[in-house]
Structure 1
Amino acid sequence: MASRAVIAPTEQNQPRGENKQKNMGVEGRNRKVLQDIQNLVINPADLGANANVTKRLTRAQLAALAQAAAEKNKNFVPATRVEQAQKPAESEVIVISSDEESEEVKEKQAVRERKIRERSTKKIVKTFSSVLSARSKAACRVVPKDFVENIDASDKENELAATEYIDDIYKYYKLSEDDVRVHDYMASQPDINVKMRAILIDWLIEVHRKFELMPETFYLTLNIVDRFLSTKAVPRKELQLVGISSMLIASKYEEIWAPEVNDFVCISDNAYVREQVLVMEKTILRNLEWYLTVPTPYVFLVRYIKASTPSDKEMESMVNFLAELSMMHYATVSSYCPSMIAASAVYAARSTLERSPFWTDTLKHYTGYSEEQLRDCAKLMASFHSAAPESRLRAIYKKFCSSDRCAVALMTPAKNLSSES
């Protein structure tokens, strides 16, 4: 294959030629390989007067020079690679790529074009069933199911939220709640009944509000009372003593500034003396084996209210109203575990406030309960809500009739749960 020869610069143009020679070397290494352009190797001696031409020649000039050289030497043979290596150093030769390399490029280009043609000619085949399903979805306007929302995403920067461990914590709560769950114990109590228990809790709610205690204290108090009554028979005259002693223990556990013993003696209208309260406190702790770190319904309420998105003050007040109202009734406490009571309160509250849908995939994920599992307990709560205005035990009803709790007790009970019940 022919090569292109470049005329070496003259001595008078040597400084400028040196810079061009350096640039030519770099440019030669980086330029793309050329095809055969039928250039001829020309001897500088044959150029005569044109020997001093510069390196940059036009195609017309090169063609004229090549024709003149061909006429002069009819037996011209293209220079081979060996001849190029033997040429004087004054003419720099650029080697053009071989025919084999050009054939490889052409072969790759042909394969690439064949693949493009195959992709363009390939037809998209749709099955009959897929077409029908797509048309039916478009006609029925199928709404996709709710996705599970990450309710802890906003608390990642809050170290107190413990977002890395919160799921494991509640898994432990669900596993350990059966250990402290209260079962039916009224058969073992000869001197008290369900009504007396409701009267005691109604009074404890007023005491709780009077001392302005935390919600955790109220739920732990009821847990202590029920667990103690399930282990020991209590006379009717000591039932109130069990109540104030349980609240004293819960206050010491949950509150920063717990009420003193004398405060409970005064609020019970001096029905008991200080020593009786302390003796009952020791008796309760001994029977419960000092086991006070228990998952109450309030522990689950905090989590499930957060999962009931979007949550607001009205929703929170309604959930707490239904939960506290159900805790006063022995049928709820003895039949359902704390997590189910909390989940049912959220479900009944959403039904009462007509938050659609009543139960979401997010709530099902975080509570572990389906709507069907909660329906029976939610019916009980709706019936308690309906009977609250006419009940003699009105402490909870009055508490949630106030404007600071959005007066949720005055709202109409859930129609979908009340009609079924």
Structure 2
Amino acid sequence: MASRAVPEQPIVVGGKPKNGQADGRNRRVLGDIGNLVPAAEGKVSKTNITRPVTRNFTAQLLANAQAAAEKNNTKKPLRVAGVPSGRDVKKQETMVGISPEEEAKLAKNLEKKATISKRTGTGKSLTSTLSARSKAACGITKKPVELVVDIDAADVSNELAAVEYVEDIYKFYKMSENEYRVHDYMSTQPEINSKMRAILVDWLIEVHRKFELMPETLYLSINIVDRFLSVKAVPRKELQLVGISSMLIACKYEEIWAPEVQDFLAISDNAYVREQMLLMEKAILGKLEWYMTVPTPYVFLARYIKASVPTDQEMENMTFFFAELGVTHYSTSIFYCPSKLAASSVYAARCTLKKSPFWSETLKHHTGYVEDELTDCAKLLVSYHLGASESRLKAVYKKYSSPDKGAVALFRPAKTLQTKQAAGSV
């Protein structure tokens, strides 16, 4: 088609017409520059365009830049934004163009697939498909996230529960438990060994049950005994006197109606007189500097049993059974801190009662221990359970074999925590 003739325009240099004309409205209309060719039906179609001169020039620029970068000891080759590398240029030069018929056929197929995907709802991107397969392979989709249970929700209206401060209280307990923790002291006791200490604690558990005292009193009594023996060498004949004097102090600290001095003398078969017991009480308080507020295992047991949801009386009895076995034996009472002994007792109880899971996210959150940290101590506790019926120390076994304690001592020990050799009788 013929085009209208356009008068030749003056050459503009620096934005102003050279021949004095003010505007450049009468510019030459752009015509065919050779990038379009007419099709058979008179339509315009695209053809493969190659610009070897431009691409060679671009590659030359990149080669010069890389040479300069290597000269300046640059490790990575320099790439200019929007400028392809020499490899990309060669790749582009070898690309084969698509004919109009193939392009139309390809577009029709893509449109058909999109329609089918919309109808069936099966259209997914490659990224989402690969992500789903990766999650399935790792087991992520099969394992839902376990939430931490709010164990204090039911006690919000209970002022004695101190829900607002309970988390801070137990953080303080965990921080301070090592300050007054008793370490191995048997090497400083010339006349006392770990078996004698176990016999004393076993007897104190019987006395505690006879007097129907609070559980806090038992754990504080054992703590006072260990702390005093760690700083004072005691003759063998006075070991029982240390035990009843320690329980007298603990009763005055914990009980509302504490047994009297004469009650402790009578239960010890009057092996000592009143003056001896009062002198020993004074000596213990002096050595311990009257400090009785210590985080015993009971402090942590009360919290960790509550975190063992869902909890019941059987779970509570089983946990206390393992805890008392632990404090009776010197190895677990001394070499494991109170919080770990309490957590291990809960873990051993859950394994014995086959609670699933053995260790939950709620317990992990409130105790601060993962399952692997409790395995060694829990195995010791289960070994004590295995030998409890044949041991000479019968107080804990008899106590928790009674119906009022659910007869939890008669349960089969946890197979998952049993070792090849059970602990021997003491």
Q: Residue 328 of structure 2 corresponds to which residue in structure 1?
A: 328
> Is the 8 Å Cα contact of residues 265 and 271 (structure 2) preserved in structure 1?
yes
- 1:229 CA displacement: 0.1
Output one character per residue of 1:247-305: Cα deviation in whole Å (capped at 9) or x when no partner. 00000000000000011111111100000000000000000000100000000000000
Q: Residue 343 of structure 1 corresponds to which residue in structure 2?
A: 343
Cα distance, 1:419–1:132 mapped onto 2, change above 3 Å: farther
- 1:419 CA displacement: 4.4
Within-5 A mapping of 1:250-399: 250-399=250-399
Within-5 A mapping of 1:189-228: 189-228=189-228
Q: Residue 132 of structure 1 corresponds to which residue in structure 2?
A: 130
Cα distance, 1:180–1:400 mapped onto 2, change above 3 Å: same
Q: Residue 85 of structure 2 corresponds to which residue in structure 1?
A: none
**Is the partner of 1:390 in helix, strand or coil?**
coil
Within-5 A mapping of 1:70-81: none
- 1:406 CA displacement: 1.1
**Once superposed, which parts of structure 1, at least 4 consecutive aligned residues long, lie more than 3 Å away?**
123-127, 135-141
State the alpha-carbon separation in 2 of the partners of residues 324 and 419 from structure 1: 20
State the alpha-carbon separation in 2 of the partners of residues 409 and 151 from structure 1: 27
State the alpha-carbon separation in 1 of the partners of residues 188 and 272 from structure 2: 25
Q: Residue 246 of structure 2 corresponds to which residue in structure 1?
A: 246
Amino acid in the other structure paired with 2:130: L
Within-5 A mapping of 1:160-171: 160-171=160-171
- 1:130 CA displacement: 2.4
Q: Which has the larger radius of gyration?
A: 1
Output one character per residue of 1:358-388: Cα deviation in whole Å (capped at 9) or x when no partner. 0000000000000011111001001010010
Q: TM-score, normalised by structure 1?
A: 0.69
State the alpha-carbon separation in 2 of the partners of residues 227 and 136 from structure 1: 56
Output one character per residue of 1:187-231: Cα deviation in whole Å (capped at 9) or x when no partner. 000001011001111111111011110000000000000000000
Q: Residue 93 of structure 1 corresponds to which residue in structure 2?
A: none
- 1:179 CA displacement: 1.1
CA RMSD of aligned residues (A): 1.8
Q: Residue 230 of structure 1 corresponds to which residue in structure 2?
A: 230
State the alpha-carbon separation in 1 of the partners of residues 331 and 146 from structure 2: 34
Q: Residue 400 of structure 1 corresponds to which residue in structure 2?
A: 400
Q: Any gaps of 5 or more consecutive residues in structure 1? A: 1-120
- 1:131 CA displacement: 1.4
- 1:126 CA displacement: 4.9
Q: Residue 418 of structure 1 corresponds to which residue in structure 2?
A: 418
Amino acid in the other structure paired with 2:387: A
State the alpha-carbon separation in 1 of the partners of residues 127 and 329 from structure 2: 55
Amino acid in the other structure paired with 1:289: E
> Is the 8 Å Cα contact of residues 225 and 242 (structure 2) preserved in structure 1?
yes
Kindly, what percent of the aligned residue pairs are identical?
A: 69
State the alpha-carbon separation in 2 of the partners of residues 419 and 200 from structure 1: 27
Q: Residue 107 of structure 2 corresponds to which residue in structure 1?
A: none
Cα distance, 1:410–1:183 mapped onto 2, change above 3 Å: same
- 1:405 CA displacement: 1.1
**Is the partner of 2:258 in helix, strand or coil?**
coil
State the alpha-carbon separation in 1 of the partners of residues 134 and 178 from structure 2: 47
Output one character per residue of 1:144-184: Cα deviation in whole Å (capped at 9) or x when no partner. 13111110011111111000000000000001100111110
264-273 vs 135-144, which deviates more? Answer: 135-144
> RCO (CA 8 Å, sep 6+): is it higher in 1 or 2?
1
Q: Residue 172 of structure 1 corresponds to which residue in structure 2?
A: 172
Amino acid in the other structure paired with 2:325: L
Output one character per residue of 1:124-155: Cα deviation in whole Å (capped at 9) or x when no partner. 99542421332565686612131111100111
State the alpha-carbon separation in 2 of the partners of residues 165 and 350 from structure 1: 28
Output one character per residue of 1:55-107: Cα deviation in whole Å (capped at 9) or x when no partner. xxxxxxxxxxxxxxxxxxxxxxxxxxxxxxxxxxxxxxxxxxxxxxxxxxxxx
Q: TM-score, normalised by structure 2?
A: 0.68
Q: Any gaps of 5 or more consecutive residues in structure 2? A: 1-114, 422-426
> Is the 8 Å Cα contact of residues 241 and 272 (structure 2) preserved in structure 1?
yes
**Is the partner of 2:341 in helix, strand or coil?**
helix
Q: Residue 87 of structure 1 corresponds to which residue in structure 2?
A: none
Amino acid in the other structure paired with 1:198: A
State the alpha-carbon separation in 1 of the partners of residues 239 and 303 from structure 2: 33
Amino acid in the other structure paired with 2:289: E
> Is the 8 Å Cα contact of residues 379 and 419 (structure 2) preserved in structure 1?
no
State the alpha-carbon separation in 2 of the partners of residues 262 and 243 from structure 1: 15
Output one character per residue of 1:294-319: Cα deviation in whole Å (capped at 9) or x when no partner. 00000000000000000001100000
Within-5 A mapping of 1:46-61: none
State the alpha-carbon separation in 2 of the partners of residues 388 and 129 from structure 1: 59
**Is the partner of 1:290 in helix, strand or coil?**
coil
> Is the 8 Å Cα contact of residues 315 and 350 (structure 2) preserved in structure 1?
yes
